[in-house]
Structure 1
Amino acid sequence: MAEHQHRTDPGAVEGDFYRVKDLLDADERKRLDAVREFLVTRVAPHANEWWEREHTPLDLREEIRALGITGEPGDTDGIAPRGHLFAGLLGMEMARVDPSFATFFGVHAGLAMGSIRECGSAEQRERWLPSMARWEKIGAFGLTEPLVGSGTALGLTTTARREGDEWVLNGEKKWIGNATFADLIVIWAKDEEDEQVKGFVVEKGTPGFSARKLEHKIALRGVQNAHIVLEDVRVPEADRLQEAHSFRDTARVLKVTRGGVAWSATGCSVGAYEAARAYTVEREQFGRPLAGFQLVQDLLARMLANITASQAMVVRMAALEERDEMSDAHAALAKMFCTSRMRETVAWAREVLGGNGILLENDVARFFADAEALYSYEGTRDMNALIVGRAATGYSAFV
């Protein structure tokens, strides 16, 4: 047999090349395997169809609830403790199969529930989190605005005005995931009196609140992003997040979820790599599989290197988070690095497939397109670089 025809087991090398999963204990590995089985059987077969139809699988809520991965201990009964590494690997597994599904889950369980957990009073946590953990009520997170993306810390235009025991909200929000169907929408607005950012939970159907689905997206099409309009929306003081007093409190939520996007970006890279590798084993040119060509193997090796470097960073980030030592800059560097490496990886995956790389049926096209959204949301590369630069130098260069 010619040397170039020799090959080992084509299923031997998946995206977790350095076996990060082995860092979990036996119980966590078993739980992660159950989630992967759900993703492979209930999400993967439909991911391309959902992406093309701009469909969010709300009908899977009961099955997601049964996995026991939504929320944290204390949110409601029956939630098992889990470490930050396990939580990160959950996000990676979801994005490995479908970044849209990972975002749908993350907006609800991370941004919305995280805002209430971090910034709500004990009464508010008891009132909202149990039903959200059970997926009886779905959450959304409204921060970004039509004219304000990266500048939300200083330039938020949505306003809140206190009138007795109520607050009156006016303004617009854009790119708000889950907002077309969410039951509870966390809205961040600037208090007209002290000009500080505060958080409010707006219930679906509140007069003056409307959410219009954004059409014609080329990424994360399975996520229902909305343009929200708030016209004299009245929210009782009881629904103002009692521990959100300034944008610093908003940033506490974003620090955690920004780290989560780094895990999702790593998962997106893994999904693109695994789809590309599977294609090269099956596809033949010039009488042998693409996997047997040097240039193809070089690209696959580059993809694995990007994935492994990203995994090493987020695993260390999880360890810092476990000790409550993760800073904004740690999360920002992980988001910046992992999404940049993801962008390279999905492009190489598409390159390996040639023209077939733009067809949904081969999966890579979906990861290639979805990567563009992950690259931008939860802080652009530039903004995260400035957060890291500020930590490195002691100087702020934002304006």
Structure 2
Amino acid sequence: MTSTAAGPVLLDDASLHERVRDYVGARAQQVDGCEVALRDGIAHLASLGALERGVYGAQAPEDLTRMCEITGTVALDCMSQAFSLWCHRMAIEYFHQADEDSPARARFLPQLRTGETLGSTSFAAATANFLAGTPLPVTFRREGDHLVVNGRIAWASNLQAPFVSVAAAANEDDPTERVVFAYTEATPGLELGKYPDLLALQATSSTSPAFKDAVVTADDILTYDFEPFVSRVLATFLLIQSSFCWGLATRSLDEAGQQLDGPKQVFAPTYEDLRARLDSVESRVRTLSAHPNREEIEHRALLQLRLDAGRLALESVSLESKLAGGRGYMLHSGTARRLREAAFLPVQSPTEVQLQWLLARSA
């Protein structure tokens, strides 16, 4: 990370950095108030060539590093937009990693590339199933030439039509058989509850989709080869998540560092500790994202990075708030918004509980 008079710089592309920050920063307050659609931001990032960097097996490893930088740069100004970007980028990754002859791949990738269709991920339970063998909450059975799917996704975002999301289901008679499939707002048997009121990230169109005898056709299938598929997408999933934590922490520590004067210098040791941890997170994001074979990256290293990055962001925003004083407590201040946004990180899947549990199991 470098810093300029205009603030921290994560992107090694000055022009792209400026264009991303100018756009994202100008609309952050409107996004927080649900006055503008996140879809517009995805389409804008698509126009900048900032959506499809670092696809595994299709592009150079350093392109994923650039995708992480872009995500972190968006998070400097707005976590809602960064989170929406992660959701959309993961949908792009899923369809790229689908079977080559998958009709869903050919159908949805062009729409995702432009932002015409909003990409969503319903893959948290699939990740947990892969890492720890926890049961999938969605099941399927075969009826004729299609699947009948039942169950509930605990949480998914970017569910603003037209959207496409990717989930996994287990055969109700043989849970070792699993399928990765796509669903849209038009999937028969899909029920979308209303968007609940959230502390922050309200604009992300998040809810708990339910499948009640939902019909999934062959055209919706990405793959039945579940474990190799998850192995290909897991590193991207966790590295881009870690990147928006990196961006949020960077912004808060930049704000905090400008206020360490007078009596506030009592927090200087805390600030220096957080800065050292930020350097560690950034170094690991850059090193792991540049790995030539993502399937070979140790799962424990990815999980530890995600845990460390989330904790760092939360503690950095807390320090910023303490140093900002009363003006940071104003409802529409950037500090107050970052406090609300950071509160999401311990409960975002994989949650802090899940991360600690998975790390304890692998110790």
Q: TM-score, normalised by structure 2?
A: 0.85
Which 5+ residue runs of structure 2 have no aligned equivalent? none
Asked whether the equivalents of residues 140 and 185 of structure 1 are also in contact (C-alpha less than 8 Å), the reply is yes
1:306 Cα offset (Å): 2.8
Give the direction of change, closer, same or farther, for the CA distance of 1:207–1:84 in structure 2 (3 Å limit).
closer
Residue 119 of structure 1 corresponds to which residue in structure 2?
A: 98
- Letter of the structure 2 residue corresponding to residue 221 of structure 1: Q
Cα offsets for 1:15-74 (capped at 9, x unmatched): 46xxx75xxxxxxx33xx333223322221221232133754323344222111222588
Give the direction of change, closer, same or farther, for the CA distance of 1:334–1:389 in structure 2 (3 Å limit).
same
1:265 Cα offset (Å): 0.7
Residue 31 of structure 2 corresponds to which residue in structure 1?
A: 50
Cα offsets for 1:99-144 (capped at 9, x unmatched): 110111110112x122222233344333321221121222212245
1:293 Cα offset (Å): 4.5
Identity rate, percent: 20
Say yes or no: does 1:338 pair with 2:319.
no
Say yes or no: does 1:241 pair with 2:222.
yes
What is the SS of the residue equivalent to 1:364? helix
Say yes or no: does 1:320 pair with 2:291.
yes
- Letter of the structure 2 residue corresponding to residue 373 of structure 1: F
Say yes or no: does 1:186 pair with 2:166.
yes
Picking from 136, 143, 148, the partner of 1:168 is 148
Give the direction of change, closer, same or farther, for the CA distance of 1:305–1:291 in structure 2 (3 Å limit).
farther
Give the direction of change, closer, same or farther, for the CA distance of 1:321–1:211 in structure 2 (3 Å limit).
farther
Residue 223 of structure 1 corresponds to which residue in structure 2?
A: 204
Task: Pick which of 328-337 and 314-323 moved more.
Answer: 314-323
1:163 Cα offset (Å): 1.1
Q: Give matches, 1:365-380, under 5 Å.
A: 365-380=336-351
- Letter of the structure 1 residue corresponding to residue 240 of structure 2: G
Q: TM-score, normalised by structure 1?
A: 0.78
The separation in 1 between residues aligned to 2:262 and 2:203, in whole angstroms, is 31
Cα offsets for 1:162-189 (capped at 9, x unmatched): 1121111122223201123342221322
The separation in 2 between residues aligned to 1:175 and 1:230, in whole angstroms, is 13
Residue 66 of structure 2 corresponds to which residue in structure 1?
A: 86
Residue 274 of structure 1 corresponds to which residue in structure 2?
A: 254
Picking from 213, 221, 230, the partner of 1:250 is 230
Residue 304 of structure 1 corresponds to which residue in structure 2?
A: 275
1:218 Cα offset (Å): 1.1
Give the direction of change, closer, same or farther, for the CA distance of 1:360–1:275 in structure 2 (3 Å limit).
farther
What is the SS of the residue equivalent to 1:316? helix
1:299 Cα offset (Å): 4.4
The separation in 1 between residues aligned to 2:146 and 2:345, in whole angstroms, is 36
Residue 24 of structure 1 corresponds to which residue in structure 2?
A: none
What is the SS of the residue equivalent to 2:350? coil
Asked whether the equivalents of residues 179 and 225 of structure 1 are also in contact (C-alpha less than 8 Å), the reply is yes
The separation in 1 between residues aligned to 2:313 and 2:266, in whole angstroms, is 20
Give the direction of change, closer, same or farther, for the CA distance of 1:322–1:156 in structure 2 (3 Å limit).
closer
The separation in 2 between residues aligned to 1:158 and 1:330, in whole angstroms, is 29
Asked whether the equivalents of residues 118 and 252 of structure 1 are also in contact (C-alpha less than 8 Å), the reply is yes
Q: Give matches, 1:259-298, under 5 Å.
A: 259-278=239-258, 280=259, 290=261, 293-298=264-269
Say yes or no: does 1:102 pair with 2:82.
yes
Cα offsets for 1:201-232 (capped at 9, x unmatched): 12332222232243221132331111212222
Q: Which has the larger radius of gyration?
A: 1
Cα offsets for 1:313-363 (capped at 9, x unmatched): 222222335676422222111101111122211111111112322324431
1:370 Cα offset (Å): 1.3
Aligned Cα RMSD in Å?
Answer: 3.2
The separation in 2 between residues aligned to 1:269 and 1:291, in whole angstroms, is 23
